[in-house]
A and B are shown apart, each in its own frame.
Chain A
Amino acid sequence: MVKYTIKRIILAIVSILIVSAITFFVMNIIPGGPFNKEKATSAEAQRVLEERYNLDKPLGQQYVLYMNNLIHGDWGISLHSGRDIWGEISSRFKVSARLGGMAAVVAIIIGLILGSVAALTRNKWPDRLIVFLTTLGTAMPSFILATLLLLVFCLKLGWVPVWSSSKPNYVLPIIALSLYPMAYITRLTKTSMLDALNQDYIRTARAKGVPAWKVIFKHALRNALIPVVTYIGPMVAYILTGSMVVENIFTIGGLGSSFVTSITNRDYTMIMATTIFLAILMVVANLLTDIAYKLIDPRITFE
């Protein structure tokens, strides 16, 4: 496992380097620039800024300089606002992680419970209700759900404010963000739970008189978890990248909205830093997912 982990880490570093190179050159190819404004920046100011941020150098040299700074822990400063990039990313990520983390926990817990209930009540009304709700959850994009929640709970019912300078409310954004992964986990859990419940070891456990709750939680659910764990990596990606719209609608200053703004502004240093940061996050999430397989099912080998 150690050998496998080291191999994965090396692969991860290569992946991140490839991602960074592709991002760097693609963002420089697309038209537009970081200093474009409705009222033109003076030629002199543009020259000073390009010199300051190495944009006057050939692209290859810019990339090498950027990566060299990055390796030395310098993420640079935003071309658009002059703010320290690492400070920006870390503060925004805290917000996104808090929101995304809570959404992920909600999606996993409720998804597992609903999936199990659906499997145990197959073809009965709870199962049918859950299937109906999960189909709805899978079909409805988060931005529509977010707008709907805003209209119903903020405007019609007035239970939560749309915006507050002191008490931002995360309940609605969490619901908007977690519904799709929750629905997906429910369906995954139901399918794998049904599969597990038909296995011989379950029949054996029941025949031996093991209590029903123990059969379900210890034997069936544990085995049903593997496909769910597989989904956690992509789910983290979905929540982090999909959070942009939800963050905008609920005025939450997370990484998603900041990433999209940086692309619109051609804020090269911010685009690079956010992409690399998210790439690292994805790679780590996938690595942890693989290690979790092993912990859940010791039969799995990495060789």
Chain B
Amino acid sequence: MKKKLVAVLLAASMIVGLTACGSGNAANSTDNSGTDNAATTDEGDANASSADATDTSNGGESSGGSGILNINLASEPDYLDPALNSSVDGGCLAVNSFAGLYTYDQNGELIPQLATAMPEVSDDGCVYTVHLMESKWSNGDDLNAQDFVYSWNRVIAEETAADYAYLFDVIARNGDALAIETPDDYTMVITLNSPCPYFNDLMAFPTFFPVHQASVEAANPDGTVPGKWAQEAGFVCNGAYTLQSWNHNESMVYVKNPNYYDAANVTMDELHFMLSADDTAIYAAYNSGDLDYIDTVPNDEISSLNGINPEFGILDNLGTYYIGFNVNDSVFDGKTVEEAAKMRHAMCLLIDRGFIVENVGQTGQVPADSFVPLGMADGNGGEFKQADTSYYDAEATGAGMLEEAVALLEEAGYTLTDNGDGSYSIDPGISITYLTNDGTGHIAIAESIQQDLAVVGISMDIQSEDWNVFLEDRKQGNFTLAREGWLADYNDPVNMLEIFTSDSGNNDMQLGKGSSAAAPAWGDYDAMINEVRNTTDFAARVNLMHEAEDMLMETWAVIPLYYYNDVYMQKSNVDGIFATVFGMKYFMYSTKN
């Protein structure tokens, strides 16, 4: 009897213990305030024009007050220092907490921000004069032209080791410094090496934002940790919001900056960011009403949301998802340059892009028929991609171009035998390996390509690697065929084309880098890009860029699959958020009912 009593008491104490523990934890926790989707853009960098993101209308309650917008963009940012950031999500934080000379409006148009007007450009197109308005840093200090001169020179300084220092190459130098004069506190006279049609866009790019010199120097007197000044909440900035608290890997709270030049028009009081890259957690937080805006949606959910849930939206991006051949790979040994190009051309035509965008991408991506994406400006007032600049019919690739692909392979020296069931056998056999990083979307695309190539008897193995190893192998050329992607940093085709120059660190296709007899000669391409960078005739420049894209596509080392877009979900009671085609999202003029 006593034994039973003890057992009952123990059970009772267990229940009490559990309850007490639960409530204790909840009370204790109140003092603690702080991957990869192939279907959408997942590249690491960017910024400049268009795409209104606010046209949804459906129910959905959200937590927080009407002046608080709860957002997820990504996990912990590496750098909040705009000079050192090279990620899209870091760029989004920068455009909301820093102000540059120029910015974008809701229509994607470039407009003055701290500049009083668009720049005055000299007749030769090389001297830009920018007049600044009077404005202040978040700590009340005055912000003037010298702050920009200091900040821009800091980016190019060797010790800063900024990824985007090359963007400043268009500006002429006075010794080690940029050729910028400041006739008075609120005027900048910037001299360029040669006319640059996209320089206005560059001035709206986060790397061109000013930083507070006194803060930077105080935090890092010996220059060894350049981003230290912006590693914790409370750093001085000049944008719409200042970072009030930062619980690493949990949350960031940005509050309205009363010293922002346009504070009177900032409609959202606070931005609360969930710092997570876990698809499930993000989507659950959105559905439970803890978040108002997300730009990560699990791939599996897209088909049940796209066109069905009005809170789901798609943004255009300026970028291309493509695959690329290593032109020096042994699979091309024994072939002439032309034969190797025909092999690649045949494989390009065999890939069913329609299937990929419909079944893997699922967000209405446009199948790509060129490397420079749709919608990119040509630097001369027009759009670069025209109806006649397609390199193949992207809608018909796959089964529709089988015969053409077979003919190309035969011209490349292979014998193809019709199996009578719509497939072919190839002699001698071709075996290639497709390199990709982990990620269900990327693998699904690889599998689709694998099936397409199998139709002509080409055997393709899929090799999936950890992200870091993948980047290393791709850069070193340790692959035959690899998945690739490029999201533009600024709105000019040269940003897409210059990645394939011989000296580019992004030339994974190894064009101009190896000694294979089957690889195309690449000196002319380098010369062409160099001319594009230096020409003063913008009309001729457009033609040169078309010629460069022709030359690139004639190698068939680069096989475009589709043009990027990006997804988001936004509660119906939220309005006024807008984004650019470079992935930058602006939250300061949003409202929440």
Residues on A lying within 8 angstroms of B by beta carbon are: 30-33, 36-45, 48-49, 52, 77, 80-83, 88, 91-92, 95, 98, 102, 105-106, 109-110, 113-114, 116-117, 120-121, 126, 147, 150-151, 154-155, 158, 161-171, 174, 211-213, 216, 247-254, 257-258, 261, 264-266
| B248 partner, pick from A44, A98, A113, A253, beta carbons under 8 A | A253
Expressed in whole angstroms, the minimum distance between the Cβ of A74 and any Cβ of chain B is 12
CB neighbors of A among B46-78 (8 A): 63, 70, 75-76, 78
| Bound: A174/B20 CA distance, A | 13
> Which residues of chain B are near A162, meaning CB under 8 Å?
281, 284-285, 288, 290
Report if B307 contacts A (CB, 8 A): no
Which residues of chain A are within 8 angstroms of B7 by Cβ–Cβ distance?
A: 117, 120-121, 126
A82-B228, A253-B247 given; A170·B472 CB < 8 A = no
Chosen A-B contacts, 17 in total, with CB atoms closer than 8 Å, are A32-B471, A37-B44, A38-B45, A42-B165, A42-B505, A82-B228, A95-B32, A102-B28, A106-B18, A113-B11, A117-B11, A165-B274, A168-B32, A170-B29, A251-B249, A251-B276, A261-B75
B326 CB to closest chain A CB (Å) equals 16
Tell me, yes or no, whether B25 is within 8 Å of chain A by CB.
Answer: yes
A32 contacts B468, CB within 8 Å?
yes
Q: Mark B214-228, 1 if CB is under 8 A from A, else 0.
A: 000000000011111
B317 interfacial contact with A, CB 8 Å? no
Contact indicator per residue, chain B 8-34, by CB within 8 Å of chain A (1) or not (0): 011101100110011001101110111
Which A residues touch B247, using CB under 8 A?
168, 253
Contact A39 B45 (CB under 8 A): yes
Which of B4, B10, B43, B162 lies in contact with A113, CB distance below 8 A?
B10
Q: Is the CB of B471 within 8 A of A36?
A: yes
**Which residues from A are CB-within-8-Å of B45?**
37-39
- Cα A32 to Cα B437 in complex, Å, equals 13
B571 on interface, CB distance cutoff 8 Å: no
Contact of B466 with A110 in the complex, beta carbons under 8 Å: no
Please, which residue of chain A has its CB at the minimum distance from the CB of B274?
A163
Rank and list the top 9 A-B pairs by shortest CB-CB distance, nearest first.
A253-B249, A40-B505, A32-B468, A38-B44, A162-B285, A165-B272, A165-B251, A212-B2, A45-B161
Q: Find the residue from B159, B247, B273 having the highest chain A CB count within 10 A.
A: B247
Closest to B281 in A: A249
Asked if B124 is an interface residue, CB under 8 A from chain A, the answer is no
B285 x A163 contact (CB < 8 A):
yes
Given known contacts A43-B505, A264-B468, A163 and B281 CB-to-CB distance under 8 angstroms: yes
Least CB distance, B513 to chain A, in whole angstroms: 13
Flag if A120 contacts B6 (CB, 8 Å): yes
- A166-B281 in contact given A38-B43, A38-B44, A171-B26 (Cβ < 8 Å): no
Question: Apart from A82-B231, A171-B26, what 10 extra A-B contacts exist at CB < 8 Å?
Answer: A37-B86, A38-B485, A39-B86, A42-B505, A91-B248, A117-B7, A155-B284, A165-B272, A168-B33, A251-B249
Closest to B271 in A: A165
Name which residue of chain B comes closest to A36, CB basis: B471
Cα distance A106–B228 when bound, in Å?
A: 39
Which of B10, B466, B469, B506 contacts A116, CB < 8 Å? B10
B467 contacts the other chain (Cβ, under 8 Å)?
yes
Q: Which residue of B lies closest to A88 (CB)?
A: B248
Q: What is the CA–CA distance of A32 and B33 in the complex, to the nearest angstrom?
A: 35
Q: A8 to B544: give the CA distance in the assembly, Å.
A: 73
Q: Is the CB of A37 within 8 A of B6?
A: no
Query: How far does the Cβ of B321 sit from chain A's closest Cβ, in whole Å?
Result: 12
Q: How far is the CA of A95 from the CA of B250 in the complex (A)?
A: 11
A105 to chain B: closest residue by CB: B21
| B29/A168 in contact, CB under 8 A | yes
Most buried by A among B30, B163, B274: B163
Q: Are A40 and B475 in contact (CB under 8 A)?
A: yes
A48 to B163 Cα, complex, angstroms: 12
Contact flags (1/0) for B230-255 with A, using CB distance below 8 Å?
A: 01000000000000000111111100
Cβ 8 A contact of A32, one of B34, B158, B472, B505: B472
